[in-house]
Amino acid sequence: MDGINRGKLLIIGGAEDKKDKCIILKEVIKLSGGENSRIVIMTTATEKPEEVGKNYVEIFKRLGAGTVETVNIDSRDDAKNEIVEERLRNSTCIFFTGGDQLRITSILGGSGIDKLLNELNKQKGILIVGTSAGASVMSTTMIIGGNDEESPRKCTINMAPGLGLLNDVIIDQHFAQRGRIGRLLTAIAENPENLGVGIDEDTAIVVDGNKFRVIGSNAVTVVDGRTLKNTNVSESSPDEILSLTHVTLHILPSGYGFDIMLREPFKYNKEDI
């Protein structure tokens, strides 16, 4: 990986507003082409694909999207379906629903769809969106589970390879609502070259190149491990509380953004977007 993020992504912390202002979902439509958008809902993460898919189709159509259809890749055999590949190639947006992120990577990883997604995003400019579990899979290394609302310990977190759409970043979702700061700190202690990004519910980051901006009603917590000076992560026992010194923390609400390469926050003018 060269550390450069070329495609545009929209990564949601889960529980996005679907009834009121729908700021995040309207942004999805806008970035997908508005009334000319062609949105594909990927329901691989959920065990209720028909129900979840139908719900998103109805919402996006109500909000003014162009065409909206669902694709449920439920097995590695499904991933080899030529019709599925054609639908993905003809889309302007691929939207991953919530559920279990390990279902996404265990079914799509190494199937060819994972490489296709990177190609469509980074070479064709197709927007890729993920909410909740669909958010976690965006990164090269993803969080698949852990103990919420605990101080950071080795046993606080489980990790696995993600889809690799976003380099040098580890995503966590439902962040403040489920008290996940401990497990994100653990992830960064174990992978200090990565940037930790914890996204609250009804909040999203819009990634364009190597910068992202925050939208939605809550906040994004950014944990920068490159400033880390001391940690006992390699010597500690699984249940021992980790020590981390000089970790840099940023809290960014809507109207703020972050430069992933420079590791610097910034403000943006919402009216200019």
Catalytic residues: 132, 150, 174
3-state secondary structure at position 64: coil
User: Distance between CA 267 and CA 54 in Å, rounded?
Assistant: 37
From 260, 117, 262, 137, select the one nearest 194 (Cα to Cα). Answer: 260
Please answer whether residues 225 and 238 qualify as being in contact, where contact means their C-beta atoms are separated by less than 8 angstroms. no
3-state secondary structure at position 222: strand
* Kind of pairing between the strands at 141-146 and 127-131: unpaired
Alpha carbons within 13 angstroms on the beta-carbon side of residue 2 total 6
Please answer whether residues 160 and 123 qualify as being in contact, where contact means their C-beta atoms are separated by less than 8 angstroms. no
3-state secondary structure at position 247: coil
**Tokens (6 digits) for 251:** 């809290």
The CA-atom distances, in angstroms, between 82 and each of 22, 53, 93, 112, 128 are 34, 20, 18, 11, 20
Torsions phi, psi for 156 (to 5 deg): -75, -15
Please answer whether residues 220 and 203 qualify as being in contact, where contact means their C-beta atoms are separated by less than 8 angstroms. yes
Q: How many other C-beta atoms lie within 10 A of the C-beta of residue 29?
A: 21
User: Distance between CA 60 and CA 24 in Å, rounded?
Assistant: 11
